[in-house]
Amino acid sequence: MPPMSVFIAFEGIEGCGKTTQVGKAADYLTKRGIPFLCTVEPGGTGVGEELRNILLNKVSLRIHQMTELFLFAADRIQHVEEVILPALRSGTVVLCDRFADATVAYQGYGRELDIDVVRAVNRWASGSATPDMTILIDLPVEVGLERAKNRSVRLETPDDRFERERVEFHRRVRAGYLRLAGEEPDRFRLIDGTRGIDAIHEEIRGHIARLLAR
Ligand code: Z5A
């Protein structure tokens, strides 16, 4: 198999099933013998892990919305430079659980920051890294939050800063994502996330196979 520098991002609201589908996509690439890397934002680097802890778990910290925007940007700069670009340069498929569209959806539409400012910060933080394909797993907010809630109960983990947000916040995020997908139909693949895990994977696998065949 020749080296493949392909960047695929997975996006969607809380509990949409991204992480599950990144795992299934990784299994598929393993079976095909294609070198890949799974990574995540926030996180994906040592610095990113520290930032993730602040951004998600420090629920008692009052984080200004612009501070939040720049912390996600800082995480992305480190991630792009340390992980994503080196992997792409070495001919590896990168599967990334959230990337820059999450900042537009959450900080732009969710927090209602100026979209032009968010996009400018994003351009600067992402540098030359742009996903070749973005898988957007869409489903009603109530379904995603219910899944996330059940998982928290099962794993006995406390809600993070985003899980504590009101349902209206998550509705704005979902609408923002759908708007982004409408603006860039060539890059986005809109997936109905209300179906079973295997049906969703089959559709995503088809998109990945077609992208790799190009
Ligand atoms: N954030 C931001 O604000 N700005 C940014 O720029 C970036 C991120 C990059 C990261 O949290 C938070 O950071 C995120 C946005 C913000 N917060 N929110 N909301 P995270 O990484 O901890 O969590 P997440 O990214 O939101 O993902 P998640 O909650 O872990 O969910 P998921 O990855 O979409 O879903 P999952 O873990 O694959 O599945 C959730 C549960 O549903 C699990 O029990 C599965 O077994 C189950 N599941 C999955 N698929 C199905 C189907 N098809 N049917 C039934 N059940 C399913």
Kindly report, residue by residue over 189-213, the tens digit of the pLDDT. Answer: 999 999 999 999 999 999 999 999 9
What is the Å distance from ligand 1's center to 12 Cα? Answer: 8
Predicted structure pTM score: 0.97
What is the Å distance from ligand 1's center to 153 Cα? Answer: 15
What is the Å distance from ligand 1's center to 24 Cα? Answer: 15
Closest-CA residue, ligand 1 atom 28, reads 15
* Antiparallel, parallel or unpaired: β 93-97 and 36-40: parallel
Neighbours of 29 (CB within 10 A): 23
| CA separation, residue 34 to residues 28, 135, 201 (Å) | 9, 19, 17
Whether residue 194 has its Cβ less than 6 Å from ligand 1? no
What is the Å distance from ligand 1's center to 119 Cα? Answer: 23
Whether residue 14 has its Cβ less than 6 Å from ligand 1? yes
Question: What's the pLDDT at 4?
Answer: 79
User: Which H helix or E strand runs over 12?
Assistant: strand 6-12
Whether residue 147 has its Cβ less than 6 Å from ligand 1? yes
Neighbours of 107 (CB within 10 A): 26
Q: Does residue 81 surpass a pLDDT of 90? A: yes
Kindly report, residue by residue over 91-105, the tens digit of the pLDDT. Answer: 999 999 999 999 999
Q: How confident is the prediction for the chain on average, in pLDDT?
A: 96
CB–CB of 160/14 below 8 Å?
Answer: no
Measured CA angle at 188 (ends 68, 80), to 5 deg: 45
| CA separation, residue 152 to residues 3, 49, 79, 156, 202 (Å) | 39, 20, 27, 5, 27
Question: Of all atoms in ligand 1, which is nearest to the CA of residue 154?
Answer: 44
Kindly report, residue by residue over 135-187, the tens digit of the pLDDT. Answer: 999 999 999 999 999 988 899 888 889 988 999 999 999 999 999 999 999 99
What is the Å distance from ligand 1's center to 2 Cα? Answer: 32
Q: Does residue 2 surpass a pLDDT of 80? A: no
Q: Does residue 124 surpass a pLDDT of 70? A: yes
Question: What's the pLDDT at 206?
Answer: 98
Whether residue 106 has its Cβ less than 6 Å from ligand 1? yes
What is the Å distance from ligand 1's center to 15 Cα? Answer: 4
Whether residue 109 has its Cβ less than 6 Å from ligand 1? no
Question: Of all atoms in ligand 1, which is nearest to the CA of residue 41?
Answer: 9
Q: Does residue 1 surpass a pLDDT of 70? A: no
Whether residue 69 has its Cβ less than 6 Å from ligand 1? no
Would you list the DSSP string of 80-112? IIIIIHHHHHTT-EEEEES-HHHHIIIIIIIS-
> Three-state SS for 9?
strand
Question: What's the pLDDT at 64?
Answer: 96
